[in-house]
Amino acid sequence: MPNKTVYIREGDQELWDKAESIAGGSLSGLLTKLLKEYVPSREEKPLKGDDGMERIVLEIGMGPETRRKVAFTGKWLASDGISRYGGRHTAYYTPKGNIVVHSDYDTTGDDYHVYDDIEAMSQETNGDEPLYSPEFLVEIAAELGEEYVEELDI
């Protein structure tokens, strides 16, 4: 049977010991299970239908002294018009399966954020309020051939 040696930092020993105990003494089984979840989430995720990927160039920053351009390959997914915070968000899908959201605010300028998935986007907040509207998340999910269900904390 093949084997791998994993070296851990001394400061992480307690965490590894707890994980081994919770896993019933089999770190190998636990690591394999976690890798089966991790690898597919990091592999390129094909879009359903025509991928439509192209070079996207965004201008970010505020004012001439801080403006710069960033570029990536992606596909437009959705725009939310004017959000509840006075900005506009546009979402793109990348070949690596990430979601890039370009945010354009008159008061703070343009910026972008990269998310692993819609769930990660839904956790983003502005104070106590979600940053992205459920309608925006539903539209993105539909473009990806997925369903977004808003989880209520009640």
Name the most confidently modeled range: 18-32, 94-108, 113-127: 113-127
pTM confidence score? 0.64
**Among candidate residues 148, 54, 144, 44, the one with its CA nearest the CA of residue 97:** 44
pLDDT the model gives residue 44: 57
**Span 25-78, pLDDT tens digits:** 878 888 888 777 767 665 655 554 447 789 999 988 887 788 889 999 999 999
How large is the average pLDDT for residues 147-152? 86
Q: How many Å from the N-terminal Cα to the C-terminal Cα in the chain? A: 49
Altogether, the residues listed in the chain come to a count of: 154
Separation between Cα atoms, residue 77 and residue 90, nearest integer Å: 8
Q: State the pLDDT confidence band at 98, using cuts at 50, 70 and 90.
A: very high
Instruction: State whether residue 25 is helix, strand or coil.
Output: coil
**Span 78-94, pLDDT tens digits:** 988 765 666 788 999 99
Per the CB < 8 A criterion, the answer to whether 79 and 137 are in contact is: no
Separation between Cα atoms, residue 91 and residue 75, nearest integer Å: 9
